[in-house]
Structure 1
Amino acid sequence: MTRIAFVASERPEAQDARAKLARHYGEVRPEEAQVIVALGGDGFMLETLHAQIDSCTPIYGMNWGTLGFLMNEYSEDGLLERISAAERTVVHPLRMVVADMHGGLHRALAFNEVSLLRQARQTAKLRISIDGKERLAELFCDGALVSTPAGSTAYNFSAHGPIIPLDAQVLALTPISAFRPRRWRGALLRHTAKVKFEILEADKRPVSAVADNFEVRDVLEVHVSEDRDLALTMLFDAGRSLEERVLAEQFSS
């Protein structure tokens, strides 16, 4: 790996680090690179994945953000050796299709999760169908989300959803502050599942839909499914693969 493109978040520290690495290793444009090095936090890694959605170029992240769960530790030394020895993880995004109250139709991709969130003080009222079969006629809640395995340690886990091994080929369907049925804790679905959310009483209980960082407000219906035709490769330092991090997260206190 000799042709590297460096990209960085807007943080001054990340921009300074990008400039240092570019001087040390040289750089090319992303479309000419054999690997893209992303400097920032998890949010910037998601931005980079979206920016490279039509590319097969592997992405190696180094943390200059807050959490850095999807990133490697930052170091200026031995970058080529780290990239050559890195372990690969292939991720597939969720595809979201949304119909809104104003007649609009919106499409977006999500590598972490698609989430539905109430917009006002009233709880959301959702109907949930899986593969064309109604599974929950009414869910009163603050929202609900569908998470990929890679995103299961993020918002999904904060909403008390399960952490999913990357090779499990399942998706997590998780309620956010469910009010009724109060004891419903969500479901694990095959990765081929097609999830449909219908927003009930949408005028009274408006809901927004978010795919990673893309938001649609005043939604009526949301369809979510995994897109197996799209695949991006993330690189992680040897012994610190994303699979290992997801497993270790299940035993952290």
Structure 2
Amino acid sequence: MPYARRTQDGRSSCRTSELARNPDSPPGSLSIVVPVYQESAGIPALERALRAFEADESRVRRLQVVLVDDGSTDGSGELLRQSFGGWPNATVVAHAHNLGLGAALETGAAVADGDYVAWFDSDLTYPPELLGRLAAELDLGADVALASCYHPDGGVDGVPAWRLALSRAASAVYSRLTGGVLHTYTSMVRAYRRETLDACSSTREGFLAVTEVLLRALRAGKRCVEVPAVLARRRAGQSKMRIVGVALGHLGLVASLKLGKLNPPRPRV
């Protein structure tokens, strides 16, 4: 199946203006999956930010927050339980060992019960308020809504050059291979319709899972919408990305995409 094409104005062919929501349909419920690994320094800020977002967005839709401790050894798991354990719509789950970002997202999706499933970075490089904008695009009829810092109306603020170099290069290659449908392919902050995520699960581990799921959705003809956003420098802790390994992984994913040999997605259980 071919990928969608951009329209003459340079945007994706699945523009928000082309999507229509049934006015009689209530906003979909939203489950927010937050993978956490060695982020103890940033958990207090994460709690404050998510609580503020919940206070506003819960007026619009039902929310669930699923925090996945991916085998942290710095006390992140205990801090998550202390911070969110008493929150009625929050669930904290833990891996006994570090399994990587892809596995953490899978675990969170298995617990999520919302109509929509969003992924959110625990380092607050994007604001939680963005999640409401992503969910609103799904209300309008999109299958996937993603934060896009490389969109002409997006931007970056204080992000290390090495991180931008890899992300920009990867997004440029994927954009060319998919017909220029999107500007950003590596951002984790997205919202999916439940059925779309279930149908497009990843076969890859770590950071590569994020891009693979999006490529599967595009390949399946799903309606994908970019929401311009500003990517900021993380407020606490350090990035867990291993740049050489991720770069090599992207090369492998690019090869699979060019050859039309993306493996079938794993069925969800």
Normalising by the residue count of structure 1, what TM-score does the alignment of the two structures yield?
Answer: 0.31
> Which has a greater percent of helix?
2
Query: Which structure has the larger Rg?
Result: 1
> Which has a greater percent of strand?
1
Structure with more relative contact order (C-alpha pairs < 8 Å, separation 6 or more): 2
Normalising by the residue count of structure 2, what TM-score does the alignment of the two structures yield?
Answer: 0.29
